[in-house]
Amino acid sequence: MKISAITAGLLSAIPIGLINALIIYLRANNVVVAVQKDPPFNRMSFQQIRLLFTAAFGLGMFVLGPLSGLAYQFGVNRWHWQGFTFLGLAVGLAILLSILALVSRTPFAGEKIIMNFVVGIGFGLLIPWLTKG
């Protein structure tokens, strides 16, 4: 049974969101220290900030997944993508965003770089695989 690219993106968001939430939860010290001095986080406890960021980076994949599915569907319909084209583009975007995270000196850049590659490789592999049917 073949599923749509948007549904594939939504299904792919489950493991990717769990991995991202786990990364933030386990590396919470870096995340909380980076943002704790900024309002409104300066009025929140460590546990509240950790829960907020864990939920945001985990559940955010349920928005990014269907958008990735739409991008894949557009590429297949418009340019007849085959093989690992989508994976290559997703990993290329992860590299570009990781360089941007390093150059801009963003808070918790290490975690963002890891999550960039989790998202790029995850959606780049799972969406085409799930839509093959």
Q: Using the structure block, give the residue that is written with the tokens 């319909």.
A: 77
| Domain housing 11 | 5-132
Residue 52 neighbours by CB distance under 10 Å: 16
pLDDT, tens digit (0-9, with 9 covering 90-100), for 13-29? 999 999 999 999 999 88
pLDDT, tens digit (0-9, with 9 covering 90-100), for 49-97? 999 999 999 999 999 999 999 999 999 999 999 889 999 999 999 999 9
pTM: 0.91
Contact predicate 118/58, CB 8 Å? no
Total number of domains in the chain: 1
CA distance linking residue 125 with residue 14, whole number of Å:
14
**DSSP label at residue 44:** S
* Cα dihedral 38→44→48→50 (10° resolution): 30
Q: What is the pLDDT of residue 127?
A: 96
- The one-letter amino acid code at 124 reads G
pLDDT surpasses 70 at 133: no
